[in-house]
Amino acid sequence: MSCCKEPCHGGIDFTETPVAELYGSNCFSNAVMRERLPKDIYKEIVAVQNGEKELTLAAAEVVAASMRDWAIEKGASHYTHWFHPLTGLTAEKHDAFISPTGDGRVIMEFSGKELVKGEPDASSFPSGGLRATFEARGYTAWDVTSPAFLKQDPTGTTLCIPTAFISYYGQALDKKVPLLKSIDALSRQAVRVLRALGNESCKRVFTTVGPEQEYFLVDKKFYDERPDLILTGRTVFGALPAKGQEMEDHYFGAIKERVAAFMRELNTELWKVGIPAKTQHNEVAPNQFEVAPIYSNSTAAVDANQMVMETIRTVARRHGMEGILHEKPFAGVNGSGKHNNWSMATDEGINLFEPGENPESNARFLLFAAAVVEAVDRYALLLRASVATSGNEYRLGANEAPPAIVSIFFGGPLTEILDNIAEGKTGGHTPTGEKIKLGVTSLPSLPKDVSDRNRTSPFAFTGNKFEFRMVGSTQSIATPNTYLNAAVAQVLQEFADKLEKAADKTEAVQSIVKESYAQHRRVVFNGNGYTDEWVREAERRGLPNVKSAADALSVLVQSETIALFERHGVLTREESESRYHIYLEKYSKQVNIEAGVTIDMARRYIFPAVTAYAASLAGDAAALAAIGASNVSQAKRTKRIAELANELYEETARLETILAEAQAAGEAFAQAKAYSGKVRPAMDLVRAKADALEKMVAKRAWPFPGYEELLFKL
């Protein structure tokens, strides 16, 4: 589809390639590989994807040649090993396919070695002490579980090969390697459990993920005048206009034409690279939207989500808008999250969280569900840490997002069944009302909407999957999924140990679910998670409520966490420690930039504008007095503006002092605490003065566009 020229009103080209033809046209998918590779090589690749073998260089050579030919046919000139460094962004270094022939011409080359291994200089990516700069070498290795694709932009067409990024000594420098390892760990333990339950054929269990991405769109001309949006992704100033989101007229509302044109192109771009963008709608806040692709295996979903975020921003620019991914770009209206829909499925296509139709599959479902309850209770702090970012700190615990307390929603009927099992009671929900005996008793078929929609739960069962809703909108979903997989792997390992030893498996399932649920059901909460009563109730239940990101991150270096990750081969001690430092540092850097921008905008934009405005008002009053007229209220207003301007000046100076203290704080944890506990409140005080001034100063005198423009004009 060729998009019309900006601005995208009118001139829309409705003659497009049928979606089925377009879909995946820029993706080197399994379908393409099946078509283009020799049969035995294709089979080998599938076996490698399923973790059954290692990729041989011989096979890699064949795939590389095929991938190169495919990419070149489609106009590609470069390739890149596309990876996820610990910045949370994606990185790419482009290499041309060209290889000089020595007689002034070039041939297009790409070897198996180049496919499986790249050597970007690792020294400029955060490693948290994993690598000294003199050991700058890092390697990228092809991740066969996520398809290669073509990216088209003004640099041309580039073949992007999803890769893992490791140091010379084999340490994971990225978010992909631990994710892959966590999937393996979970698979190992889940297969053990399934074997013990009598499944002899399943070889592997996958995690499936479908992330829902929220974002805002802002007109580019307003965005360009807001240094805070440009430099930090959020507004550090802005008085709420007379209308916010209280009319609830945006959610699922009719999509504006300009946005519709953007969404259409966003879908097209995503479909081309094989990302199954499926739903799109307006979100709760004005100018807030959501796009959700159909779920896939979790590595592909992680990569696809990085592409979704990037594509939102590029396509928005083509339509004269800016895509805002920050968790809390505007105070006073909803922030953005990324619901991480997560499930486990066998290689035979069984979703392990699908309530069953017969006693055996019900037993399996309840056993795996109980494992998740136990994992979420025992590793609540770890899940909390997986979403502990500077942006998410504004969101979690505020009144729209899930609170910082991790709990699970199951819905009434399921909770009742599990409660009854835990208490050894007669099952209120079995058709005959007898005592539930797992593997023997038939349970009522649970309607798909058992999960009677609870939008306030941080971790909700939604019929056949769990939805982890605390994830922030800018985050890579790799880390939340890695920690979740590791936590569930640990519980399944303990379940498998017990099951394998038990003589009577049916009896064992019953007692495992009973014991586990009885001990961990405190984490199940079906009520409204946004209320103060829940905060008090959670405290009574002993559930942690960690509000600051720095505190949340500290669990990463506790011995129990390090042992968990080491036991399952997900992260070594050094890798865990490095991540802890990188995340703390990233947190501090982000707040540091926000505080700097706050000072800058207060001093260089707001203060000069309001003092000039007050002076002009005073001049007006003097002119009025000179002709014998006076205006008392005008004089009062001028005085109030002048007072607020002084207070703004003072608060800015105070912020500057506090910021300097935080910058000097030295040790990473203390520094992050200073940024959250001292710098952020000081920023709020500056903001309060500025926002009050914005409400009093003439619109034409305010130095940058306000919330009306940013939130309502598109």
Contact positions vs Mg ion (CB under 5 A): 339
Q: Does 213 bind ligand ADP (CB under 6 A)?
A: no
Strand-pair category, 156-167 with 76-82: parallel
Q: Which residue is nearest to ligand ADP (CB)?
A: 210
Binding range to ligand ADP, per CB under 6 A, among 336-344, 528-536, 539-547, 585-593:
336-344
Taking the least distance from each CB to Mg ion, the nearer of 339 and 579 is 339
Minimum CB distance to ligand ADP, residue 467 (Å): 6
Q: Does 209 bind ligand ADP (CB under 6 A)?
A: yes
Q: Does 462 bind ligand ADP (CB under 6 A)?
A: yes
Minimum CB distance to Mg ion, residue 356 (Å): 23
Report the partner that residue 465 touches, choosing among ligand ADP, Mg ion, none (CB closer than 5 to 8 A by kind).
Answer: ligand ADP
Among 84, 395, 465, 673, binds ligand ADP (CB under 6 A): 465
Minimum CB distance to ligand ADP, residue 378 (Å): 23
| H-type alpha helices, 502-631 | 505-520, 532-541, 549-553, 559-567, 573-601, 607-626
Report the partner that residue 209 touches, choosing among Mg ion, ligand ADP, none (CB closer than 5 to 8 A by kind).
Answer: ligand ADP
d(CA 189, CA 204) in angstroms, rounded, equals 10
Taking the least distance from each CB to ligand ADP, the nearer of 187 and 341 is 341
Binding range to ligand ADP, per CB under 6 A, among 71-79, 335-343, 358-366, 400-408:
335-343
Taking the least distance from each CB to ligand ADP, the nearer of 210 and 705 is 210
Q: Does 294 bind ligand ADP (CB under 6 A)?
A: yes
- CA distances 368 to 182, 245, 415, Å, are 17, 39, 14
Among 351, 361, 511, 572, binds ligand ADP (CB under 6 A): 351
Taking the least distance from each CB to ligand ADP, the nearer of 187 and 598 is 187
Cβ(1)–Cβ(17) below 8 Å: yes
108 phi and psi, to 5 degrees? -95, 115
Give the helix/strand (H/E) hosting 29. Answer: none
Taking the least distance from each CB to Mg ion, the nearer of 272 and 339 is 339
Strand-pair category, 459-461 with 466-468: antiparallel
* Residue 88, C-beta contacts closer than 8 angstroms, at least 6 positions apart: 175, 474, 475, 476, 586
Minimum CB distance to Mg ion, residue 469 (Å): 8
Minimum CB distance to ligand ADP, residue 210 (Å): 3
Among 343, 415, 476, 638, binds ligand ADP (CB under 6 A): 343
* Residue 74, C-beta contacts closer than 8 angstroms, at least 6 positions apart: 26, 150, 157
Report the partner that residue 351 touches, choosing among Mg ion, ligand ADP, none (CB closer than 5 to 8 A by kind).
Answer: ligand ADP
Taking the least distance from each CB to ligand ADP, the nearer of 210 and 397 is 210
d(CA 117, CA 580) in angstroms, rounded, equals 28
Give the helix/strand (H/E) hosting 419. Answer: helix 412-423
Minimum CB distance to ligand ADP, residue 515 (Å): 27
Report the partner that residue 581 touches, choosing among ligand ADP, Mg ion, none (CB closer than 5 to 8 A by kind).
Answer: none
Give buried/exposed letters for 434-453 (b at 16+ CB in 10 A, else e). Answer: eebbbbebebeebeeebbee
Report the partner that residue 99 touches, choosing among Mg ion, ligand ADP, none (CB closer than 5 to 8 A by kind).
Answer: none
Cβ(140)–Cβ(164) below 8 Å: yes
d(CA 32, CA 73) in angstroms, rounded, equals 13
d(CA 64, CA 240) in angstroms, rounded, equals 55
Report the partner that residue 295 touches, choosing among ligand ADP, Mg ion, none (CB closer than 5 to 8 A by kind).
Answer: ligand ADP
Range 534-593, binding ligand ADP (CB under 6 A): none
Q: Does 341 bind ligand ADP (CB under 6 A)?
A: yes
Give buried/exposed letters for 131-151 (b at 16+ CB in 10 A, else e). Answer: beeeebebbbbbbbbbbbbbb
The count of residues interacting with ligand ADP (CB under 6 A) is 16
Minimum CB distance to Mg ion, residue 672 (Å): 31
Report the partner that residue 179 touches, choosing among ligand ADP, Mg ion, none (CB closer than 5 to 8 A by kind).
Answer: none
Report the partner that residue 464 touches, choosing among Mg ion, ligand ADP, none (CB closer than 5 to 8 A by kind).
Answer: ligand ADP
SS3 117: strand
Q: Does 477 bind ligand ADP (CB under 6 A)?
A: no
């002009």: which residue's tokens? Answer: 616
Taking the least distance from each CB to ligand ADP, the nearer of 292 and 584 is 292
- CA distances 461 to 411, 631, 684, Å, are 8, 64, 37
Cβ(524)–Cβ(466) below 8 Å: no
Range 268-287, binding ligand ADP (CB under 6 A): 279
Among 140, 146, 208, 493, binds ligand ADP (CB under 6 A): 208
Taking the least distance from each CB to Mg ion, the nearer of 283 and 651 is 283
Cβ(237)–Cβ(691) below 8 Å: yes
d(CA 167, CA 155) in angstroms, rounded, equals 29
Q: Does 464 bind ligand ADP (CB under 6 A)?
A: yes
Q: Which residue is nearest to Mg ion (CB)?
A: 339
d(CA 622, CA 625) in angstroms, rounded, equals 5
SS3 396: coil
Binding range to ligand ADP, per CB under 6 A, among 21-29, 169-177, 206-214, 594-602:
206-214
Binding range to ligand ADP, per CB under 6 A, among 17-25, 138-146, 339-347, 550-558:
339-347
Q: Does 24 bind ligand ADP (CB under 6 A)?
A: no
């398809």: which residue's tokens? Answer: 147
Structure tokens at 351: 């979703």
- Contacts of 501-504 with CB under 8 Å at 24 or more apart are 502/196
Q: Quick one: which of 64, 210, 73 has its CA closest to 148? A: 64
Among 27, 292, 304, 383, binds ligand ADP (CB under 6 A): 292
Cβ(675)–Cβ(629) below 8 Å: no
Q: Quick one: which of 476, 416, 422 has its CA closest to 174? A: 476
Minimum CB distance to ligand ADP, residue 590 (Å): 28
Q: Does 295 bind ligand ADP (CB under 6 A)?
A: yes
Distance of CA 540 to the CA centre of its chain: 30
Q: Which residues bind ligand ADP (CB under 6 A)?
A: 208-210, 212, 279, 292-295, 341-343, 351, 462, 464-465
